[in-house]
Structures are given as structure tokens and as C-alpha cells.
Amino acid sequence: KKGNYDHFMQKEIHEQPHSLTTTMRGRLKDKSVVLGGLKDHLKTIRHSRRIIFVGCGTSYNAALAARPFLELLSGIPVAMELASDLLDREGPIYREDTAVFVSQSGETADTLLALEYALSNGALCVGITNTVGSTLARKTHCGVHINAGCEIGVASTKAYTSQIVVITMMALAIGADKLSTQSRRESIINTLPDLPDKVREVLKMDDQMKDLAKSLMEMQSLLIFGRGYNYATALEGALKVKEVALMHSEGMLAGEMKHGPLALVDEILPIIVIATRDACFSQQKSVIQQLRARKGRLIVMCSKGDAASICSGGSCRIIEVPLVPDCLQPVINIIPLQLLAYHLTVLRGYDVDQPRNLAKSVTTQ
Ligand code: UD1
Ligand code: BG6
């Protein structure tokens, strides 16, 4: 079943051009997005006062990655909830809310309990899952299957990128009635079919990421700074590194750097800064300058062609990725970090597909 691959995680990382193709199949129709599971509910969603994403782990991170685009296209405030925290707080949920539950398995206990809670409060409940017939798919009012194919590795990889693409398509469908964003929507719809090829291009960085992993394998810790569309990339990259490579890693909002994390910077601690081209590019360039001034050990992820200008003097390592529209860039940017986590795990001698103490589906609280 693993074919030419040593591990399911490796297979699933390399499968992403295909899984993204099946996620989009039949859903892009000349200048519009058609999500069969949502089309009768779009009106209700457009009239909701708030959209709340609920999930755990990687599924939460996928929603976080797509949130800025959904806010932009819908004009509706979008809140983020980790399922356990929503339950701990019994946070307010109203009839006028749309609650979107994201879960690869559709069986995560905290997410399902949060669903029960939102249903009893009268919210419209939408599911985004990879599993047809799952409890989540059955108990939500409506939803979208991500159709990424069965995911076996405990660390979620291909489901993450498919979740981002589905939520992005959901944003395009919700925003379809707005004239002001029409040209922006059309340009994204036109570039979505190219995404699998761009993913294929990044996957060619496998050897480069293995070399990077060799240079990092003895480290105690790894920080990842992102912001805007790629704040989620920082969180998800760090989650991959900690859950499979068993190395301490933290994803951080670069905008918070001066409020604490800067104290950690020295010549030893490796720091990945995500600085691909988008509205946050100039802020990220100044973050890089400040880290370099403190002799931080930097690894910069930038858009193709930007390496020389971003890191003149050559003191940092570079991960150059292809440029895609800002809302799709998280799909590209996570892939080198998935590869890095994979190679770190193999080099450090840990179990890739069954990380210590973790389960694929956490069905108890
Ligand atoms: C559906 C069919 C697909 C077929 C296509 C043809 C299924 C599972 N999907 O895909 O095989 O090729 O029509 O038009 O038979 N749902 C929830 N909660 C969730 C996820 C989904 O309630 O968490 C519901 C949806 O609202 C929808 C149904 O399940 O009613 C199927 O969802 P989805 O597979 O995403 O719909 P289509 O893409 O239209
Ligand atoms: C577990 C998995 O913790 O559950 C993670 O190990 C996953 O990979 C999380 O992100 C949430 O799972 P699901 O199925 O609800 O997306």
C-alpha cells in the first residue's frame, strides 16, 4: 500500500498534487465554484452574524490559514475556536451564527461534543471532513467532503492542504454575490487548477529539505515565525516538527516577536521566517533585519527570485518557493516544512507513522 515509499506520511506528502486535484474535481465551473453540499445553505450563511471555525490540531490550523480570505470575501467576522477551549468556556453561540466544524476523521471527540453544543444553541452547523459517513458528516446540517483520499499517517499532511482549498472554495461560494470582489474571485478561480503543478514543483525540494534536516537534527528547538496568511503555516510547521520529529518547536506570530520571543534569539537557536510575497512582506523583511542584527540563525522561506535581496551577505539559509495568489500560498509554504519534519524524524530515528503517545483519531476526551 505504501508503493515506492518507506512511510505513509512520505507517501501522503508526495500525493498532494493528486489529492488536491480530487478535492477540486467537479467543483470549479466557468468562473464559479459549485459545492453541492452547501448550495442550498449559502443564503443562510451569508446572513449569519458570525462564522465560527471549530477544530483540533491540524484541522484548526487549516481553518486559520483560510480565515483571512473568508473574512475578505464574506465581510462577516470569522472567529476561531479550538474545540476543547470552546467546551471549557462554554463560549456563547447563537442562532444567528454559522459554526463550521473541521475534522479529517469526522470522529474527534472534542469536535463532536462542540458540535452537539452548537446544535443545541441553534446555530447552523457545517461540516468539513475527509470521511463520508462519519459522525460529523451525519450530524451537521450540511457540509463539504474534502475528498483527499484515505489518510493513514498519524501526522496529517494531505488533508491539511485539501482542507485549506475547500475552505477557500467555500469563501468563493459565499462571496459569489458581491460585485466588489468579482475580479479577485475570478482570478483565484482561474489559478486554482494550476495549484497541483505548483505543488509538484515544491516537492522537488525534497533533497534540499533533507540537507536542511541534517543540519538541524541535533537541535533542541526550532522556532517558526509567520504572519497574515502564513501565521497558520508557522503553527502547522511547528506542529509537524513536534509531533513526528519529537523536537520542541513553536510557531509564532511574527507581529508578537518584540513582545517576548526576541529574548530567545542567539547564535544557536534555528529560526525559520516565512517571508513570501504578500501584503505582509515589508513587515517580514524588517523582522529578518532585526533578527540578523541579533545574529539569529536564520532560515528564510521566500518567493523565487527574492533570496539575494532578502539575505544579502548570505548569512542565512534559504527555502525558495513558487509564488501563487496570497490566499493559496499557505498550501505551497507548508510543503517544505512537511518534508523537513519527515526527514528530521527519519534522521532522529523515530517512528514516522505512529508518533509516540499519539493517535490518528482521538475519540475520547
Ligand atoms: C456529491 C456526491 C459525489 C458525487 C457528486 C455529484 C457523496 C458523498 N458525494 O458530492 O459522490 O460525485 O455529488 O454531484 O455522495 N455533508 C454534511 N456534512 C459534512 C459533509 C457533507 O452534511 O460534514 C453533506 C452535504 O451537505 C451533502 C452531502 O453530505 O448533502 C455530500 O457532500 P459532498 O460529497 O461534499 O457533496 P458533492 O461534492 O455535491
Ligand atoms: C489527532 C491527530 O490529534 O487529531 C492530528 O494526531 C489531528 O493529526 C487531530 O490534526 C484532529 O483530527 P481530525 O480528524 O479531527 O482532523
Task: Verify whether ligand 1 is closer than 6 Å to residue 240 (CB atom).
Answer: no
d(CA 353, CA 365): 22
Predicted confidence band of residue 88 (pLDDT cuts 50, 70, 90) = very high
Least confident of 213-227, 274-288, 347-361: 347-361
Query: Which residue's CA is minimally distant from atom 6 of ligand 1?
Result: 36
What phi and psi values does residue 229 have, to the nearest 5 degrees?
Answer: -60, -25
Q: What is the pLDDT of residue 298?
A: 97
Residue 74 · residue 177 · CB < 8 Å: no
> How deeply is 109 buried, as exposed, middle or buried, from its count of CB atoms within 10 A (0-12, 13-18, 19+)?
middle
Task: Verify whether ligand 2 is closer than 6 Å to residue 58 (CB atom).
Answer: yes
- CA of residue 37 to ligand 1 center, whole Å: 5
Long-range contacts formed by 139-142: CB under 8 A, 24+ apart? 139/112, 139/115, 140/101, 140/115, 141/41, 142/37, 142/38, 142/40, 142/41
- Percent of the chain surpassing pLDDT 70: 100
Side-chain-side CA neighbours of residue 321 (13 Å): 31
Atom of ligand 2 nearest to the CA of 159: 16
Averaged pLDDT, 269-297: 96
d(CA 47, CA 94): 13
- Does residue 64 surpass a pLDDT of 80? yes
Predicted confidence band of residue 339 (pLDDT cuts 50, 70, 90) = very high
Averaged pLDDT, 20-37: 96
Q: What is the pLDDT of residue 354?
A: 87
Query: Which residue's CA is minimally distant from atom 2 of ligand 2?
Result: 360
Cell 540563525 found at: 297
| Closest residue by Cα to residue 205 from 89, 363, 320 | 320
What is Dmax (Cα atoms) for the chain?
59
Residues whose CB is less than 8 angstroms from the CB of residue 87 and which lie 6 or more positions away in sequence, other chains included = 110, 113, 114, 117
